[in-house]
Amino acid sequence: MSAGLISLFLVVLALAMMPMGLKWLQRRLGGNMAGLPSVSKVVSVIAVGPQQRVVTVEAGPEHDRVWLVLGVTAQTVNCLHTSSAPARQADGPQKGAFADLMTKPEVLP
């Protein structure tokens, strides 16, 4: 009878430790358990409420990237807008129109 209880206890212990082991393994492998290159990345996150966010995600294969603007709440994720991703510049960081305005001084008459 006690051998059966010990076996049952060990099985329950192994099942209880499985989520922690998987989490450790995922952290160790960098969140990419398949060994494939990551195909999505978070571009920006804006909080609009206590549990509401607007998240911009870049996703898709390297030659056909898209940006998804997602409305994220505690219960749902809704796609608000989809557009093609801007082309990357190989020679340095990407600059947008706002960055250009900030770097060019304006001469006042």
Report the sign of the C-alpha dihedral through residues 48, 32, 95, 93, in that order: positive
Sheet of 53-59, strands arranged across: 40-47, 53-59, 66-72, 77-84
Residues of the chain with pLDDT under 70: 1, 30-38, 88-109
Q: Give the C-alpha distances (Å, rounded to integers) separating 20 from 31, 46, 102.
A: 14, 31, 47
Looking at residue 41, its pLDDT comes to: 84
Q: What is the pTM of this model?
A: 0.49
Please give the sequence-ordered ranges of beta strands (E in DSSP) within 34-76, or none if there are none: 40-47, 53-59, 66-72
Phi/psi of residue 105, nearest 5 degrees: -70, 140
